[in-house]
Amino acid sequence: MVKKIKTEFVLKGIPAAPGIAIGSAFLMDQQDFIVPERAITEGEVLVEIARFEEAVSDTRREIQGIKEKITAQVGAIDAQIFDAHLLVLEDCMLIDEVKKRIKSDKCSAESVFSKILKHYVGVFKKIEDAYIKERSADVEDVGRRVLKHLMGETRIHDFEQLSGEIVIVAHDISPSDAVTMYNKRIRGFVTDIGGRTAHTAIIAKSLGVPAVLGLKDATLRISNQDNIIIDGRKGVVIINPTEATLALYISEQAKIALYEGSLANTQDMPSETKDGRRIVLTANFEMDGEMPAVKKYRAEGIGLYRTEFFYMNRLDLPTEEEQYRAYRKIAEGIAPHSVVIRTLDLGGDKFISSIQLPREMVPFLGSRAIRLCLEEPEIFRTQLRAILRASAHGNVAMMYPMIAGPGELRAANSILLGVKQRLREKGIPFNENMPVGVMIEVPSAAMTADLLAKECNFFSIGTNDLIQYTLAVDRANEKMAQFYEPGHPAVLRLIRRTISAAHDANIKVSVCGEMASDPTLAVILLGLGLDSFSMSPSSIPVIKRALSRIRFSDAQELARQALRLSTGAEVEEFMVTELTRLVPELYNYNGEIQ
């Protein structure tokens, strides 16, 4: 047999999480489940058929339950989608074919079912009729549920079965799947779609795994077990590297390790500029496992706790008690510093199975974050009760995401008032003065920042969203990446306006979007007078070192000049030139921050 020689080739995508990863490609198919091909014996055939039948009836029960919940909470019309899902499970052709093939192919229920499911979905997708095309999503959805019943609650177990150093290659990885990869053998992510501030990119950073997203056709060009190098700093993926390329990247990895080692001394450095202005650096936090990193990098608190991740990868909503315990644990863990708990920010690119959101044309502009909470006041109240109860322990603040203006703030605060009143009546302790803040991430909020500042205790600017909503650029769409410009004058003006409004009203303002962890842009934020920066814990040393090497007065002057420029590209170029002049040791030989 002639052995096929694999030649090196390079794909270019969006740098989403830094670092270099080397591993073997594992293609995660679109249905997300890693289904191992498992042969069975004649004697196991009946067991597998019974397992399959049980999974189908468990799925039916599960969908019925969700349907009843949605009918009660939202109404019968919205619950109709689940009738279509139930019909999929009544499809005798599908069910009988699976049983027949378990018998004839002598394969496990999950491997047979996943193959047949893929075939069905493929057939549906090819049909021109829009209605039938839509139905393929129902079949996929139901199929996923059946597979989950066959294979266990989450896919964690499957990742654990993988051996070696794995690089996940997928069309897309949802944020909820990304969190299940925590602490597994996964060395990096490569996806066809997704942008730099998509939540999957944010999770990759939290997991500390390099990621390159938005490669467009990586899943078609990469095969299982190809050797892969991911350069998350540059957005480059090298497939089947030659010995020479491999050696080059191994030496780059060593340089990075050396550089990271050199940052260790920032841990005990005071957090201040060269001329002594204090800078508060806090951490963004998504999951429990991040607390050691928060401590290691000496974050002065948690500036953004994205609570929605606590709601993911489970079938039901977390109870008040569960949430209270989780929030309390974090508050006590971070004390004496504070934790800013952000209320639920679902929708956009984050979904959970216990709240079925209607399919929207543009989810980022739809029922998301505070809007969803105001539509679902019971879910919101449960979370508010848990946060308030946790506020009796440690130093807890809370903020609302995606507030569009004072009207929404008042609506949210009036629910909060009601919840506080009930707790008082029941004698349940909470901090009466718990600070309540507003995320400024919609242009209308920035434009009304002076009004909002009168009715809240602090601001946190969510630049990831502020950029997407200001520039009308989907943050998760790789095709729009070139238009996603953090330094765009419109974005900088809105940030300047927000900071001034906050300071005029004597409240503090932080930035918790990815912009805070970009050293070049962080200097502008510093110059604009920002009070604190919140970022993934591992970004803290670089920002601390960068800001410690600049004078506040110089940062102010740079911000003034940057705000006079006309395009994001001009701002970036100006800042790099000026910083190279002012702080030559800031950039290394590659033009990267060091």
The one catalytic residue in 85, 107, 149, 199 is: 199
According to the binding rule CB under 6 A, does residue 518 interact with ligand PEP?
no
According to the binding rule CB under 6 A, does residue 345 interact with ligand PEP?
yes
Given ligand PEP, Mg ion, none, residue 356, with its beta carbon under 5 to 8 Å by kind, binds none
Given Mg ion, ligand PEP, none, residue 318, with its beta carbon under 5 to 8 Å by kind, binds none
Report, in Å, the least distance between residue 335 CB and Mg ion. 26
Which one, 180 or 307, has the nearer CB to ligand PEP? 307
Residues facing 186 on adjacent strands? 166
Contact string 450-489 vs Mg ion (x = CB under 5 A): ------------x--x------------------------
Segment near ligand PEP (CB under 6 A), from 43-51, 129-137, 460-468, 498-506? 460-468
Given ligand PEP, Mg ion, none, residue 449, with its beta carbon under 5 to 8 Å by kind, binds none
Structure tokens at 479: 């095709």
Report, in Å, the least distance between residue 508 CB and ligand PEP. 16
Q: Which residues of 307-394 form beta strands (DSSP E)?
A: 338-342
What are the strands of the beta sheet with 166-170, ordered from one edge? 9-12, 236-239, 227-231, 20-28, 166-170, 186-191, 211-213, 14-17
Contact string 287-306 vs ligand PEP (x = CB under 6 A): -----------------x-x
Q: Which residue in the set 174, 180, 219, 463 belongs to the binding site for ligand PEP (CB under 6 A)?
A: 463
- Respond yes or no: is residue 512 known to be catalytic: yes
Contact call for residues 470 and 494 (beta carbons, < 8 A): yes
- Sequence length of the chain is 594
Structure tokens at 344: 């639920």
Contact positions with ligand PEP (CB under 6 A) in 37-96: none
Report, in Å, the least distance between residue 89 CB and ligand PEP. 35
Q: How many CB atoms are closer than 10 A to CB 134? A: 12
Q: Using CA of residue 512, residue 403, residue 372, residue 140, what is the dihedral sign?
A: negative
- Respond yes or no: is residue 199 known to be catalytic: yes
Does residue 18 have a cis peptide bond before it, meaning omega lies within 30 degrees of 0? no
Structure tokens at 519: 């050293």
Q: What is the CA radius of gyration of the chain?
A: 25
Kind plus residue range of the DSSP H or E element containing 141? helix 130-151
Segment near ligand PEP (CB under 6 A), from 97-105, 167-175, 391-399, 463-471? 463-471
Amino acid residing at 462: G
Structure tokens at 181: 């990869």
CA angle 281, 282, 285 (to 5 degrees): 150
Given Mg ion, ligand PEP, none, residue 23, with its beta carbon under 5 to 8 Å by kind, binds none
* 122, 274, 543, 573 from 562: Cα distances, Å: 51, 21, 19, 10
Contact call for residues 43 and 104 (beta carbons, < 8 A): no
Residues facing 461 on adjacent strands? 440, 511
Given Mg ion, ligand PEP, none, residue 512, with its beta carbon under 5 to 8 Å by kind, binds ligand PEP
Contact positions with ligand PEP (CB under 6 A) in 416-455: 441
Q: Which residue in the set 200, 240, 464, 510 belongs to the binding site for ligand PEP (CB under 6 A)?
A: 464
The one catalytic residue in 107, 373, 456, 512 is: 512
According to the binding rule CB under 6 A, does residue 465 interact with ligand PEP?
yes
Q: Which residue in the set 512, 522, 562, 586 belongs to the binding site for ligand PEP (CB under 6 A)?
A: 512
Contact call for residues 499 and 528 (beta carbons, < 8 A): yes
Active site residues: 199, 512
Binding site for ligand PEP (CB under 6 A): 202, 304, 306, 345, 441, 462-465, 512-513
